[in-house]
Chain A
């Protein structure tokens, strides 16, 4: 396989990791005000992702860094072209990151919960907008500079893409919450998943079919897997099989990213005038850089996967509410071992 192909696939893998993992983090943030009616419930909800959200977000940083290293032209055009949406995403990620870390350390959680909600909803929608534009193509000049405006990016198809990822991540988050909690919270999360699933299937399929994939068999396979995953997630949720439901919705997210990248290939950022498109060839780094980076990725990606998987294993137990999240003055975020502060 060509090294450029390897790196195209690797970047797809990094985005897949990001959307599968931070996808449910976003969903959890969006569902926080809806499912968390009491402070105990809200704390439980936040705690389901407490140990892992930061590690999940690193997938984005590595996807960005890997794109910079392997396809500098893609990184440069994409990031400078999608300037304001990325700015909003950055603000949202700052807000939710700080909210997640500081919520438990503050006297009032209301403001942080709001920041967490909007900081999750914004990127969940905007990543869809960005990817819709990426697969559809954007106006680029011969120097690969983006020549459109913010409004070019907010076209109806892109908004459909935004809605698709928003629904997908919310559903994924609901299913994740059902898997990680018990009692009322789990029931509420399951109910949300059930009511979200049908509309999510419709919107996500409409988006993928609209994005197209040149009729490649592998693209059709990915789209079929999306449908299968989402329907499977609904079926498993209806039967109360949370583990299977989460596996199925994770599969759906994987397949969505796979379908999008299949549709993209061999471009990395198609231009409206095909002559100006960025491809895996004209956007790529030199074979030497790609070789070096392939070695690094081959050694470290499995290691990362192993320890991240281990983290999920360590925190696999369902959170049962009050006993897991001591109520009272602000928890210091270290553990339940520490008695509540006597401030």
Chain B
């Protein structure tokens, strides 16, 4: 492997790993803030216990998101210096805004929340978790604006061999950002919903703190169901925008080789990349045209035709991503997402009007369901990033031209091995800690009167 391959693996591993924690942080921060609001409003101790319990798990997860996020920011300069030189004028702005507007907010107010139970009035303390949660969500917006610019560059011109920002507003309101942000945020809520549901099921299965976790499970199911609807609708918008802006990615996602009107949505295909065709292709008729263009007979471009057009446009070269990877990651993303959605729908039915399912399998499925959104998120990012290849900035800069020219194989191999090893160790520690604190369960909390902080200074 050369520097390019190693750098790509490093970016992929760091990003996928970082994004295991991020969606849970985004979704869980709002859930915890919501629970604390319920406690603040009603003063019912069960809400305090839930706030504390989910808050603990939230913090364990948050720490991992923070430390992997630093690597994420540094590696643009470390491994992709030519990329950074080329795009810094545009891409740096949302990144710096993210730091200034979101990271400070998130980290400072979370510190206040963790340690401020006794020092702040309940109202102010409640505000700190909301501010931290808002910071987390704002941060997602800016980083997605930066990523969307790589998918669909806007508000720039090429000058002096680099991309220069001409319209920050265009970058921040990029159509790609506007559909990606809700998709990612709803995905994050689906993740947090499945997490809360699965762990609640674990307690309900053991008949521990049943009233408490019945509340949690119901909340999680509602969050999941709403998120599942949101993620599908925004995903549909995204597919339409993608068809228009990155037709090659959509064609690869569908293993659609030739331009086609009334194209079917492929369910299972065995492709022949060499000859640009499929051996087997099981389809839902009209599905793809409907998904991409909202009409049954809309024209969808195919890989071979786009490749030919791109050669005229960008010069000789292979403009196809790894078709098999794009095809399967897209399908798996949708598949895992659908499983999470089905679980939420079934769960809502089974728990209607305060019921709890009798079958132990219902609980076991909910526990296994925790994995579904995590897998869907991972597949989604692999699809969107790998599907953009060979470009790092679509239509402008190829990934091969983005890598640090000065980097040597040994250094990059060392850092790749080092980070991967550390990530693996940390994953084990994090999961063990989560399990430990889940087993401990929610604590008894003092009555609300006692929780009013004394004026100690």
Contact = CB atoms under 8 A, between A and B. Distances in A.
A98 B117 contact: no
Interface in B102-134: 103-105, 107-112, 114-120
Nearest to B116: A314
Contacts of B70: 57, 60-61, 90, 93-94
Interface string A43-62: 00001001111110110111
Nearest to B168: A292
Interface in B362-415: 404-407, 411, 414-415
Given A75-B92, A84-B411, A55 B418 contact: no
Given A54-B110, A145-B406, A62 B68 contact: no
B200 interface: no
A51 B103 CA distance: 15
A105 B89 contact: no
B63 A76 contact: no
B60 interface: yes
A338 B444 CA distance: 8
Contacts of A285: 88-89, 92, 164-165
B77 A102 contact: no
A184 interface: no
A81 B411 CA distance: 11
Interface string B59-72: 11011101111110
A79 B77 contact: yes
B88 A51 contact: no
Interface string B168-193: 10000000000000000000000000
Chain B interface, >50% SS class: helix
Nearest to B111: A51
Interface string A130-142: 0000000000000
Contacts of A66: 92, 96, 99-100
A111 to B, nearest CB: 10
Given A72-B84, A77-B81, A101 B59 contact: yes
Nearest to A337: B117
Nearest to A147: B406
A62 B100 contact: yes
Given A68-B76, A77-B81, A57 B101 contact: no
Nearest to A149: B408
B208 to A, nearest CB: 14
A296 B104 CA distance: 14
Contact of A98 (B67, B162, B406, B451): B67
A62 B103 contact: yes
B443 A339 contact: yes
A209 interface: no
A329 B280 CA distance: 60
A234 interface: no
B89 A54 contact: no
A98 B426 contact: yes
Q: State which size class the interface on B falls in.
A: 35 or more
A95 B446 CA distance: 35
A286 interface: yes
B426 A65 contact: no
A221 interface: no
Contact of B73 (A65, A146, A147, A150): A65
Contacts of A97: 63, 66-67
A307 B120 CA distance: 14
Interface string A145-168: 111001000000000000000000
B238 interface: no
Interface in A299-317: 300-301, 304, 307-308, 311, 314-315, 317
A91 B52 contact: no
B92 A338 contact: no
B301 interface: no
A286 B117 contact: no
A72 B89 contact: yes
A293 interface: yes
Contacts of B107: 54-55, 57-58
A80 B66 contact: no
Nearest to B53: A332
Contacts of A62: 96, 99-100, 103-104
Interface in A261-287: 285-286
B166 A94 contact: no
B92 A69 contact: yes
Contacts of B168: 289, 292
B89 A286 contact: yes
Interface of A: 47, 50-55, 57-58, 60-62, 64-73, 75-81, 83-84, 86-87, 90-91, 93-95, 97-98, 101-102, 105-106, 143, 145-147, 150, 285-286, 288-289, 292-293, 296-297, 300-301, 304, 307-308, 311, 314-315, 317, 332-339, 341, 343
Task: Please provide the 10 A-B residue pairs with the shortest distance between their CB atoms, ordered closest to farther.
Answer: A72-B88, A79-B77, A69-B92, A101-B63, A80-B81, A62-B99, A68-B92, A335-B117, A65-B96, A55-B108
